[in-house]
Structures are given as structure tokens and as C-alpha cells.
């Protein structure tokens, strides 16, 4: 499902109006009619419509008219300057006056009326909102949120920034949102993701070509799109057909990370997994992952000490290499990472300590011979970019795509809404839950992604599938274990999503 910026939606609307001759007021009418469908599903008789003075308010005025015509008791409030209402919104505002439907502005009356209503329509602020809500609208929204009444937001909950999901301190918390044409970034990023329990996308007669010609590059998993990428295996195949993954990682204090990564890769369907680890942890890792093979390396101070000859052999034999899992943060490992990036002709997936070491010299990525995937969480991304974690979380899409472009890599920025960026392409994943904020979860994700690359998926496809399936498996683990789930529990459910 496409995800559009506010600028892209303006262009889409403009094309529908100017190139196809669809009057803007028809689009507004269709938007109102689509919201009415969802109102009718809810058993309500007394409805309050909260309107702003812009086009979102115009949608609200049109909804109020349709409710009135359909026999509902409707009460309309607008706390802004009526003189600012213009264009199509003014047309619908004037129609209400002609129908003797009073548009009220008394906040005390609104609070009193709120007690006896069944449903509230939020049509205050649309996709152009930025900043903080104040005045009567702030008071109204606070009372709506306290009321516990069922709330339907029009296009986006009021107080949510459409392009970032950043929220005003006071913003609508909706039961459902009905949006038009495409999802918006604000529906699935940051606080915006939690501002509405469900989001429905309605076609308001915008021609499909208007959306397609806009060349929107951002998609999400709302229509289970990632699973459409899965390929059915042939009957006459063997383990060499599904990739050889080498995992370079592990250290004296972090042997478990490699085990989790290897087990996740095997459960995702890797043909062969080889763990490249220090000799000192071989017994521990071997006992936990007997299905894997091993390349045992010397160690110094508990960290892997791998020779260039060994790296060359790994590059030759591998289909994909995962790097950094449980590696440790020793400066002695910089040379190894630089050598792999500059010499590997096979895709590299870099995570965890690999990223922390890489952050000392990001420019190494510009010398890569193969496709690089990095999988940072916001803290690691902060070290890679120099930005604060708050800034990164507020600008997840921009940060991911800028880094991807500058360093010619695929950036998978982990979080509650994981962003995958490659060139101009963006995928935003919304599967997963807070229970997955547990040690080793990222190692599992790396194993899944690397496994898919080894099986022949493009690195970008592997990141889409990996983030989606990792989250779905985590959601299943949550259903069983709640917030007490562990990374091992996530692995148990991977297989459910890799079968056709």
C-alpha cells in the first residue's frame, strides 16, 4: 500500500482536478460520503461534528449535511474564525446555514453536549497541520479524549503532523481514521501510529493514474504486501540452492548473539549456515546450533582475530555474509571490517558492534564492491550520523533515505515503525510490538534478512520480508508470552510465515 507525503497528495489532488476535470468539491463530497459509510456501521443517533476552518473542516461540514439528510441528530461546532472559511469549505458551510443547521462556537455548550452524544467526528485539522494546538480547540480535544466517546477522524487525527507522525502535546486519539487516496506517513510513524486504532483508506474517485504517475516510492505492509514477494520452491532442489550464509561474530562475553542469528537464518530457510567465531566459544555455540558448520579463528583478549586469508576464503565460498553480531567493540576489529567492505563481492549485512565500529569511519561504505545492508537502531544511527536519537526518531524516513543515498547502501532503521530505504524506495513496517525490545531481537532480524539474501532475494526484498516476518513472529510470541517474550520465542514462529 502506497504512503504519500502531504506534498505528493496535493499534487495528486491537483492532477485529478486540472487534468481530469474532477471538481474539487466533488472530491470533498466523495470524502464525506466515504466517512458516512463508517458512521453507519456504528450504532449512533446523536453525533457531534468538530470542524476547523480549512478543507478538513469542509469535509466535516459536508459530513454533517449528509448525516442530517440521513436522519441523524447532528450538532456542528467550529471554534475558529468563520471569516477564514473559504472555497469548497465555505460552500458546505453555507449549505448548513440554509438547512438551518447552526454551526456553534460555545466551548461550554460543547462540553455539556458531549455528555449525551454517541459519536464524535474529528474534522478539525488535516494534513497541513504543524506545531501545537491551543485555545478552544485544545480545550475541545482534551474533553473529547477524556469523554471515552467513539471518535472517527477525517484524513488524519487532529494534532498529528502528516509527514512525520509528530504530535501536538494535545491531539485527538481516534478509534478509527478514514483517509483518502493513500496512507500518510503520519498514520504509521512516531506518535501518529498510536493516535488511531485503525486506519482505512478510501478512494474518492481520484484516477489510479494520478497516484501511479506521481511515482510514490513509499509502501507499507497494510495489505500484507511483503508476503507477495515469497517464492515457491521447486521440488527438485537441494541445500546449495538456498544459500550459504557466513556469520562473522561472537566474542567471549557474547556467544549467544551468533546462536540466535544462526537459528533465525536456519528457521527462515537457509541451505547452509557457517559461524565464523573465536575458538574459545566453539563449544558453547556448537552445542546450541548443531545444524551449523564452523570456521574457528584465533582470538585476542576474547575477540576474534581473523586472518585476511580466511576472509578471502569466506568471500569466495559465501553467498552472503552477516557481520557484527556479538563481535565486541575492539578497535582491533576495524581493519577486518574495512577489508570486508572493500573486498567482498558478496552482500554484507552489518549489525550491532559492526555498526559501532563502522561509525568511526562511515566513508568506508563508499568503497564497497557489493551491496551493503545496515540495520541500526536509533542509538546506533545516532553514532553513525551525529544526530540525536530524538531527531532521528522524529525524522526517520529522511534520516534513512539520506544515509542510504550518501553511502550507497540499504538502510534499515529499526524501531516501532521500521524504515527501509534504498535509493528512492522506502518501505515502512508496522508489525511488531514493545515486547520485542529485548536482548537478541536484532540478531534474529539479521539472521532472517541474511537468510533471504542467500536464498536469492534482492537485499531490498530481503529487508522488506525480514522486517515484516520478524515483526509478525514477534506478535505471535507476544500472544503467548506477553512482555516476557525472549528472542528465542520469536524464532519459534518464523516458520509460520515462510511457507507457501
For residue 70, say whether it is annotated as part of any ligand binding site.
no
Confidence of residue 223 (pLDDT cuts 50, 70, 90): confident
Mean pLDDT computed over 482-498: 98
For residue 57, say whether it is annotated as part of any ligand binding site.
yes
For residue 282, say whether it is annotated as part of any ligand binding site.
no
Are 97 and 238 part of one and the same domain? no
Confidence of residue 475 (pLDDT cuts 50, 70, 90): very high
Q: Is the pLDDT of residue 215 over 90?
A: no
For residue 474, say whether it is annotated as part of any ligand binding site.
no
Mean pLDDT computed over 277-299: 97
Are 89 and 157 part of one and the same domain? yes
Among residues 215, 243, 272, the one where a domain terminates is: 215
Task: Please report, rounded to a whole number, the percentage of residues in the chain having pLDDT higher than 70.
Answer: 100
Are 323 and 448 part of one and the same domain? yes
Q: Tens of pLDDT along 308-319? A: 999 999 999 999
For residue 130, say whether it is annotated as part of any ligand binding site.
yes
Are 291 and 386 part of one and the same domain? yes
For residue 418, say whether it is annotated as part of any ligand binding site.
yes
Q: Which domain holds residue 425?
A: 227-497
For residue 305, say whether it is annotated as part of any ligand binding site.
no
Q: Does the residue 66 lie in any domain?
A: yes
Are 35 and 68 part of one and the same domain? yes
For residue 187, say whether it is annotated as part of any ligand binding site.
no
Are 168 and 291 part of one and the same domain? no
For residue 118, say whether it is annotated as part of any ligand binding site.
no
For residue 414, say whether it is annotated as part of any ligand binding site.
yes
For residue 377, say whether it is annotated as part of any ligand binding site.
yes
pLDDT at 330: 84
Number of domains in the chain: 2
pLDDT at 72: 97
Q: Does the residue 194 lie in any domain?
A: yes
For residue 443, say whether it is annotated as part of any ligand binding site.
yes
Mean pLDDT computed over 202-208: 97
Q: Does the residue 220 lie in any domain?
A: no
Lowest mean pLDDT among 104-113, 134-143, 212-221: 212-221
For residue 307, say whether it is annotated as part of any ligand binding site.
no
Among residues 184, 215, 246, the one where a domain terminates is: 215
Q: Does the residue 339 lie in any domain?
A: yes
Mean pLDDT computed over 48-70: 99
For residue 77, say whether it is annotated as part of any ligand binding site.
no
For residue 2, say whether it is annotated as part of any ligand binding site.
no
CATH at residue 146: 3.40.50.10260
Confidence of residue 331 (pLDDT cuts 50, 70, 90): confident
Are 330 and 396 part of one and the same domain? yes
For residue 484, say whether it is annotated as part of any ligand binding site.
no
For residue 476, say whether it is annotated as part of any ligand binding site.
no
Are 299 and 437 part of one and the same domain? yes
Q: Tens of pLDDT along 416-452? A: 999 999 999 999 999 999 999 999 999 999 999 999 9
For residue 286, say whether it is annotated as part of any ligand binding site.
no
Q: Tens of pLDDT along 364-391? A: 999 999 999 999 999 999 999 999 999 9
How do 418-422 and 425-429 pair as beta strands?
antiparallel
Q: Does the residue 284 lie in any domain?
A: yes
Q: Does the residue 296 lie in any domain?
A: yes
Q: Tens of pLDDT along 146-162? A: 999 999 999 999 999 99
Q: Does the residue 222 lie in any domain?
A: no
Mean pLDDT computed over 343-350: 99
Q: Mean pLDDT for the chain?
A: 97
Are 211 and 232 part of one and the same domain? no
Among residues 160, 181, 215, the one where a domain terminates is: 215
Q: Tens of pLDDT along 28-51? A: 999 999 999 999 999 999 999 999
For residue 257, say whether it is annotated as part of any ligand binding site.
yes
pLDDT at 500: 85
Question: Rounded to two decimals, what is the model's pTM?
Answer: 0.95
Are 197 and 246 part of one and the same domain? no
Confidence of residue 54 (pLDDT cuts 50, 70, 90): very high
pLDDT at 332: 82
CATH at residue 326: 3.40.1190.20
For residue 179, say whether it is annotated as part of any ligand binding site.
no
Q: Tens of pLDDT along 76-109? A: 999 999 999 999 999 999 999 999 999 999 999 9
Are 189 and 244 part of one and the same domain? no
Q: Does the residue 221 lie in any domain?
A: no
For residue 393, say whether it is annotated as part of any ligand binding site.
no
Are 77 and 151 part of one and the same domain? yes
Amino acid at each position: 500500500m502506497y504512503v504519500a507525503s502531504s506534498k505528493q497528495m496535493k499534487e495528486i489532488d491537483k492532477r485529478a482536478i486540472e487534468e481530469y476535470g474532477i471538481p474539487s468539491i466533488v472530491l470533498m463530497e466523495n470524502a464525506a460520503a466515504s466517512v458516512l459509510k463508517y458512521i453507519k456501521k456504528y450504532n449512533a443517533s446523536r453525533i457531534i461534528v468538530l470542524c476547523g476552518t480549512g478543507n478538513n473542516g469542509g469535509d466535516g461540514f459536508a459530513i454533517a449535511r449528509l448525516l442530517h439528510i440521513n436522519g441523524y441528530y447532528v450538532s456542528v461546532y467550529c471554534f475558529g474564525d468563520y471569516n477564514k472559511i473559504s472555497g469548497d469549505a465555505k460552500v458546505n458551510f453555507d449549505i448548513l446555514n440554509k438547512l438551518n443547521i447552526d454551526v456553534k462556537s460555545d466551548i461550554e455548550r460543547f462540553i455539556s453536549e458531549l455528555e449525551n452524544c454517541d459519536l464524535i467526528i474529528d474534522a478539525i485539522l488535516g494534513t497541513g497541520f504543524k506545531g501545537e494546538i491551543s485555545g478552544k480547540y485544545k480545550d475541545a480535544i482534551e474533553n473529547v479524549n477524556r469523554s471515552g466517546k467513539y471518535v472517527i477522524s477525517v484524513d488524519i487525527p487532529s494534532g498529528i503532523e502528516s509527514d512525520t507522525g509528530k504530535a501536538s502535546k494535545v491531539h485527538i486519539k481516534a478509534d478509527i481514521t478514514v483517509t483518502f487516496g493513500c496512507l500518510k506517513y503520519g498514520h504509521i510513524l512516531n506518535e501518529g501510529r498510536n493516535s488511531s486504532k485503525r486506519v482505512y483508506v478510501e478512494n474518492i474517485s481520484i484516477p489510479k493514474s494520478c497516484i501511479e504517475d506521481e511515482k510514490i516510492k513509499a509502501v507499507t505492509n497494510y495489505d500484507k504486501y511483503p508476503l507477495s514477494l515469497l517464492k515457491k520452491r521447486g521440488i527438485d532442489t537441494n541445500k546449495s540452492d538456498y544459500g550459504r550464509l557466513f556469520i562473522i561474530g561472537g566474542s567471549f562475553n557474547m556467544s549467544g548473539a551468533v546462536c540466535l542469528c544462526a537459528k533465525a537464518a536456519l528457521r527462515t530457510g537457509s541451505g547452509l549456515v557457517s559461524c565464523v567465531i573465536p575458538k574459545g566459544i566453539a563449544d558453547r555455540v556448537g552445542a546450541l546450533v548443531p545444524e551449523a558448520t564452523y570456521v574457528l579463528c584465533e582470538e585476542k583478549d576474547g575477540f576474534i582475530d581473523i586472518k585476511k586469508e580466511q576472509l578471502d576464503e569466506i568471500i569466495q565460498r559465501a553467498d552472503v555474509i552477516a557481520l557484527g553480531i556479538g563481535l565486541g567493540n575492539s578497535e582491533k576489529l576495524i581493519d577486518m571490517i574495512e577489508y570486508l567492505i572493500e573486498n567482498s563481492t558478496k552482500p554484507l549485512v552489518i549489525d550491532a558492534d559492526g555498526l559501532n565500529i563502522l561509525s568511526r569511519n562511515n566513508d568506508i561504505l563508499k568503497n564497497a564492491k557489493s551491496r551493503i545492508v545496515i540495520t541500526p537502531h536509533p542509538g546506533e544511527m545516532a553514532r553513525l550520523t551525529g544526530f540525536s536519537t530524538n531527531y532521528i526518531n522524529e525524522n526517520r524516513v529522511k534520516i534513512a533515505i539520506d544515509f542510504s543515498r550518501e553511502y550507497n547502501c540499504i538502510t534499515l532503521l529499526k524501531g516501532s515503525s521500521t524504515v527501509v530505504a534504498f535509493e528512492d524506495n522506502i518501505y515502512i513496517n508496522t508489525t511488531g510490538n514493545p515486547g520485542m525490545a529485548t536482548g537478541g531481537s536484532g540478531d534474529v532480524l539479521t539472521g532472517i534478512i541474511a537468510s533471504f539474501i542467500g536464498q536469492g532475494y534482492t537485499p531490498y526484498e530481503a529487508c522488506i520480508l525480514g522486517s515484516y516476518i520478524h515483526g509478525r513472529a514477534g506478535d505471535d510470541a507476544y500472544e503467548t508470552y506477553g512482555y516476557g517474550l525472549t528472542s528465542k520465542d520469536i524464532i519459534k514462529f518464523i516458520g509460520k510465515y515462510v511457507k507457501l
